[in-house]
Structure 1
């Protein structure tokens, strides 16, 4: 079964109905990515703090979004973001974005993973957006090995889970039409965690999966 990891990058005061729909779907969710300001921001946001508390009360994993710039962002800056997510929003995991795929950057991400674990991250998701070197499976609970449009995804070959151990594979899809069997497509390509949204362009993660769209 492929469960939903939801990266929804909209403010709860602007999209309250959408956030209500996410919380209502709690039993179907693997986790939700919290992203107040392309990271935790410079100061706590009370609306996101309240949202995070509601998600935790619904027994949803809350992952703090942190950009790593494919290994170019300094370790101290990433750790600062992880710390702010924990202190301000009570996150219980981390979603590291723009993660490198090659073995050359593995040591850097090993340090970041160690820092995340030390800060209490129980779930670590690495968003490579493409298949990474197998060594990264030693660090993550979930490896995001595809992020891209539905049209590209449909052309990918079907294959089993390529990584050993207990790591799960996730796929993030956008531009997905209503009625598409995204969950089935993800399973066929080895993913047990996925998100498939209709949004396109520079900000597809401001839309929800069709199945979670609130009724008006």
Structure 2
């Protein structure tokens, strides 16, 4: 685990329990209650993605600065969203956005959205992650593939998102064999459209496939927000209780 550089809040250095990776609520002006809830003490959060305006924006946003500060005060990592554009984004643009996240919002790391997954683009992502770590020693880096990538990507990030999609696909999904060589804290699953009645089943799938960071939601993107990740699941309190009491374990 060459790039597992730090330990999420509320965990020991030897065991990481299942927790949440929030892929990005809507802007705090639109989802103030959601951001406040994420900062509630005791919430089992591994990290939260901050997406100001498809990136850090062109100037500091005071509402996002306040939301990020609350999370950091609660011991939660704040990750700046960087759009890798499936490998087409110039490295200089990624670094410019990363600097803004660090200078304006004191980000703890970065979430590379639309990260490519094939072997051919691995060298580009290796250069990008190396440059990001040069900016911030100890940065927590998550590669948002959404699928199982070429195995070499695992050596260049703290975590990989190996599933991102609807429950209808997740319930039949399988982990790639190579993931068994790594501990669960290296993988994240993001699932939308998950009914409350199948919550236990989904938690078992995450455990069996070896993913310690999850975001499960019943949202589908048709509830007044642009996508299903922008608001909290309708069973938020219930899933917190299950994770907190170890039901998912």
What TM-score comes out, normalization by structure 1 length? 0.91
Structure 2 CA distance for aligned equivalents of residues 149 and 5 of structure 1: 16
Structure 1 CA distance for aligned equivalents of residues 60 and 22 of structure 2: 22
1:213–1:83 Cα change, 3 Å: farther
Q: Which residue of 1 aligns with 2:170?
A: 153
- 1:52 and 2:68 aligned: yes
1:71–1:51 Cα change, 3 Å: same
Any idea what SS the aligned residue of 1:162 has?
Answer: helix
- 1:212 and 2:230 aligned: no
How far does residue 43 in structure 1 lie from its aligned partner after superposition? 1.2
Gap runs ≥5 in structure 2:
1-16, 239-249
How far does residue 17 in structure 1 lie from its aligned partner after superposition? 1.4
Instruction: Give a deviation string over 1:160-204, Cα, whole Å, max 9, x none.
Output: 771535661111101111242233221122211110112214511
Residue 23 (structure 1) aligned to one of 28, 39, 52: 39
Q: Which residue of 2 aligns with 1:184?
A: 204
Gap runs ≥5 in structure 1:
none
Structure 2 CA distance for aligned equivalents of residues 193 and 183 of structure 1: 11
Q: Which residue of 1 aligns with 2:152?
A: 135
Structure 2 CA distance for aligned equivalents of residues 178 and 161 of structure 1: 31
- 1:122 and 2:139 aligned: yes
Structure 1 CA distance for aligned equivalents of residues 127 and 24 of structure 2: 27
Structure 2 CA distance for aligned equivalents of residues 51 and 79 of structure 1: 23
What TM-score comes out, normalization by structure 2 length? 0.80
- 1:96 and 2:118 aligned: no
Q: Which runs of 4+ in 1 moved over 4 A?
A: 158-161
Structure 2 CA distance for aligned equivalents of residues 130 and 65 of structure 1: 18
User: CA RMSD for the aligned pairs?
Assistant: 2.0
